[in-house]
């Protein structure tokens, strides 16, 4: 190992240790760990580097998973390079470091969801005594400018964090050229080659197109929506997954005319009773659903920002066709893993032929032992930012920190940020029935009317809570579902309880917080099987 590198690594470590007082408990525990590791030989093993390589670790992809893994490895004293490159969308949209979540996913999506909720709050506010006479209208330009400004600051923050942790960041596209070696190509087409002992693939996914006439020319995807330089106007959203419904939801909440074209079911993979309730709540907001249709052609009728597009669609159940005219067509028909142009075949990393995703073992190791993968590229794992972050961090600790904790992909909570939010953790009713059989399940449910909605005279029957319990395990909660305001905030806490083995009895023993939506879970009494009425009456 070159002397300079060794010094840098130790000075980094001592800076890290020096942050707290020399006698802090944490530091003492650290010294004790170091002594033990030294005696067992682990320390020597961890510090051992192969001088044959430029880096200990090269991470390809600077999104949620890649950033977390690269930074943790650097904190552990390793020499790390991170390559991140955004191939512009067919409409030319591109962005900086940070990946999907920061630039074209969770963050801008949640901010636009908030913009839509504020519109609803304005309407409610009159019932609470607010009087205002100005015409209320929404400015798309102000919203996108504010959202992009925040996104830009997060992206910049990631750059600074990499610099602080001495991770070498290159805005270059990475691909394997031979074992332990990648080619990094920058925006100008300049190529450089780097070697590393270990690699992590965290290249994520990008929106899929339909392959029909006019799709790449005239349609946009979520990659383009959050920075669209003009208000999309009347919008057709194609697809019925969470990305589709979330985008449709906030566009409708901003006052736009929104139609969703659904090929089969809403929210495939989610609890279907809940999915239909999400759909019903969106319909109430004015979203139109075209069920069992797929687009076959998109034509431009008029140029403009936005222009006018004609969409021809055909039924999935017969020969019927239909046409519609929209200002914008947003495709949300799935996402393809960025694994095809990584040169994986050159080093023998297997990918699933069907999905393009990378199968890994429970330590995120691919078919090539020195190559690992985290995040959305993984086969059969939840595709969520906190999952990618956790997997990346724990992977770095196992590779370079002598730790053994693995990412737990079970009972991962998630939320669909439709105007009425849907939060869930654990199994859908369909999946629970498949795993445990219907006769072994108790399904408790209730409708609830948030207090804030009473004065506002909003729908008393829209919000719904459901838990699925396994009778054979003392009524352990195996599925948690809530449709209501702030479902994300509610679900997070119950997810922690489920990790601790939450049972129906424990919920009954929990004292609620009044008046909140979450308290409904402490008073669930009616099972679905009983058929008793759960209708809420009001307004
Ligand atoms: P990404 O964050 O996608 O990062 C991959 C990076 O690698 C990208 O920057 C990409 O350009 C780069 N890259 C690709 N190939 C190469 C290459 N060859 N060389 C160099 N760089 C490359 N998750 C949530 O938890 N909550 C949400 O609310 C949520 N909302 C979402 C909303 C939308 C609209 C979308 C699309 C996704 C949402 N997600 C949400 C999912 C979340 O964004 C992903 O799970 C997460 O970003 C995955 O992280 P990743 O590191 O695997 O990949
Ligand atoms: P998903 O979850 O794969 O869903 C794709 C949706 O698009 C789903 O509703 C599909 O309907 C629909 N679809 C697929 N092909 C078509 C065609 N040809 N026509 C009409 N509708 C179609 O994709 P997402 O992009 O929402 O999310 C993927 C990941 O991105 C997610 O896990 C996060 O990480 C972010 P189907 O139910 O198959 O009939």
Question: Of all atoms in ligand 1, which is nearest to the CA of residue 66?
Answer: 51
pLDDT > 90: what percent of the chain?
A: 89
CA atoms within 13 A on the CB side of 166: 17
- Separation of CA 373 and ligand 1 centre (Å): 13
Per-residue pLDDT tens digits for 192-243:
999 999 999 999 999 999 999 999 999 999 999 999 999 999 999 999 999 9
Least confident of 19-23, 354-358, 496-500: 19-23
pLDDT of 493 above 90: yes
* Average pLDDT of span 13-28: 50
Domain 55-204+338-401: give its CATH code: 3.50.50.60
514 carries an active-site annotation: yes
Per-residue pLDDT tens digits for 158-203:
999 999 999 999 999 999 999 999 999 999 999 999 999 999 999 9
* Average pLDDT of span 468-489: 98
- The confidence band for 45, taking pLDDT boundaries of 50, 70 and 90, is low
Cα–Cα distances in Å, from 327 out to 24, 207, 231, 331, 362?
A: 62, 20, 9, 13, 46
Per-residue pLDDT tens digits for 363-394:
999 999 999 999 999 999 999 999 999 999 99
420-529 CATH choice from 3.30.390.30, 3.65.10.10, 3.30.1330.90, 3.30.70.1170: 3.30.390.30
| Cβ atoms of 285 and 458 closer than 8 Å | no
- The confidence band for 9, taking pLDDT boundaries of 50, 70 and 90, is very low
Tokens matching residue 88: 């512009």
pLDDT of 4 above 60: no
CA atoms within 13 A on the CB side of 341: 12
pLDDT at 51: 78
Per-residue pLDDT tens digits for 290-302:
999 999 999 999 9
Question: What predicted TM-score, i.e. pTM, was given to this entire model?
Answer: 0.92
pLDDT of 135 above 90: no
pLDDT at 20: 43
DSSP one-letter string for 276-329: HHHHHHHHHTT-EEEETEEEEEEEEEE-STT-EEEEEEEESSSS-EEEEEESEE
Per-residue pLDDT tens digits for 96-110:
999 999 999 999 999
pLDDT of 2 above 50: no
Tokens matching residue 157: 């923050």
pLDDT at 532: 95
pLDDT of 316 above 60: yes
Ligand positioned closest to the Cα atom of 240: 2
Q: Do domains 55-204+338-401 and 208-333 have the same CATH topology?
A: yes
Dihedral angle over CA of 169, 175, 178, 184, nearest 10 = -40
**Per-domain boundaries in the chain:** 55-204+338-401, 208-333, 420-529
Which of 415, 350, 417 has the alpha carbon at shortest distance from 377? 350
- Separation of CA 53 and ligand 2 centre (Å): 41
- Separation of CA 458 and ligand 1 centre (Å): 36
pLDDT at 18: 38
CATH T-level assignment (fold) for domain 208-333: FAD/NAD(P)-binding domain (3.50.50)
Residue nearest to atom 32 of ligand 2 (CA): 383
Cβ-count burial of 383 within 10 angstroms (0-12 exposed, 13-18 middle, 19+ buried)?
A: middle
Per-residue pLDDT tens digits for 59-68:
999 999 999 9
* Average pLDDT of span 117-139: 94
pLDDT at 242: 98
Per-residue pLDDT tens digits for 420-438:
999 999 999 999 999 999 9
| Cβ atoms of 165 and 43 closer than 8 Å | no
Ligand 2 neighbours, Cβ below 6 Å, are 210, 238-244, 263-265, 268, 294, 332-335, 376, 383
pLDDT of 14 above 80: no
Question: Of all atoms in ligand 2, which is nearest to the CA of residue 243?
Answer: 26
* Average pLDDT of span 407-427: 97
pLDDT of 280 above 50: yes
- Compute the mean pLDDT over every residue in the chain, rounded to the nearest whole number: 93
Q: Best of 210, 239, 337 to mutate for ligand 2, by most ligand atoms within 8 A of CB?
A: 239
- Rounded CA-CA distance 180/56 in Å is 10
């Amino acid at each position: 190992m070159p002397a300079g590198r060794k010094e840098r690594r130790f000075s980094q470590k001592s800076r890290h240790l020096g942050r707290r007082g020399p006698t802090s408990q944490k530091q003492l525990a650290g010294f004790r760990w170091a002594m033990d590791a030294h005696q067992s030989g682990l320390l020597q093993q961890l510090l051992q580097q192969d001088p044959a390589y430029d880096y200990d670790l090269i991470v390809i992809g600077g999104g949620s998973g890649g950033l977390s893994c690269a930074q943790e490895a650097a904190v552990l004293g390793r020499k790390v390079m991170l390559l991140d490159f955004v191939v512009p969308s067919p409409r030319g949209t591109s962005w900086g470091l940070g990946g999907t979540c920061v630039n074209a996913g969770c963050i801008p999506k949640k901010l636009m969801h908030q913009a839509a909720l504020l519109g609803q709050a304005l309407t409610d506010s009159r019932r609470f005594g607010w009087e205002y006479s100005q015409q209320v209208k929404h400015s798309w330009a102000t919203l996108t400018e504010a959202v992009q400004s925040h996104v830009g600051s997060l992206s910049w923050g990631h750059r600074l964090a990499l610099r602080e942790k001495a991770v070498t960041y290159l805005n270059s596209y990475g691909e394997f050229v031979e074992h332990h070696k990648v080619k990094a190509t920058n925006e100008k087409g300049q190529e450089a080659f780097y070697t590393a002992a270990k690699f992590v693939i965290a290249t994520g996914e990008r929106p899929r197109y339909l392959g029909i006439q006019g799709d790449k020319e005239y349609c946009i995807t979520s990659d383009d929506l959050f920075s669209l330089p003009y208000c999309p106007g009347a919008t057709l959203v194609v697809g019925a997954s969470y990305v589709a419904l979330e985008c449709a939801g906030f566009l409708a909440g901003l006052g736009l005319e929104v139609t969703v074209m659904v090929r089969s079911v809403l929210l495939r993979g989610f609890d279907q009773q809940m999915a239909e309730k999400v759909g019903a709540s969106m319909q109430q907001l004015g979203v139109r659903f075209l069920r069992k249709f797929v687009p076959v052609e998109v034509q431009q009728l008029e140029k403009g920002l936005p222009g006018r597009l004609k969409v021809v669609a055909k039924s999935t159940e017969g020969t019927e066709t239909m046409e519609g005219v929209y200002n914008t067509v947003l495709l949300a028909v799935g996402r393809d893993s960025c694994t095809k142009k990584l040169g994986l075949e050159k080093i023998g990393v297997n990918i699933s032929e069907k999905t393009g995703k990378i199968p890994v073992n429970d330590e995120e190791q691919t078919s090539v032992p020195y190559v690992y993968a985290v995040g959305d590229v993984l086969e059969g794992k939840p595709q969520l930012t906190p999952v990618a972050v956790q997997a990346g961090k724990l992977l770095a600790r196992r590779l370079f920190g002598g730790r053994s904790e693995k990412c737990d992909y079970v009972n991962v909570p998630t939320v669909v940020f439709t105007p009425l939010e849907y939060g869930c953790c654990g199994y859908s009713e369909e999946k629970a029935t498949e795993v445990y059989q219907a006769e072994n399940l108790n399904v408790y449910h209730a409708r609830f009317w948030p207090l804030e909605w009473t004065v506002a005279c909003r729908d008393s029957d829209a919000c719904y809570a459901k838990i699925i319990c396994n009778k054979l395990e003392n009524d352990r909660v195996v599925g948690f579902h809530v449709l209501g305001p702030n479902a994300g905030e509610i679900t997070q806490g119950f997810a922690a309880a489920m990790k601790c083995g939450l049972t129906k009895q424990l919920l009954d023993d929990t004292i609620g917080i009044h008046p909140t939506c979450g308290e409904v879970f402490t008073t669930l009494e009616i099972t679905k099987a009983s058929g008793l009425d759960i209708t809420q009456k009001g307004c």
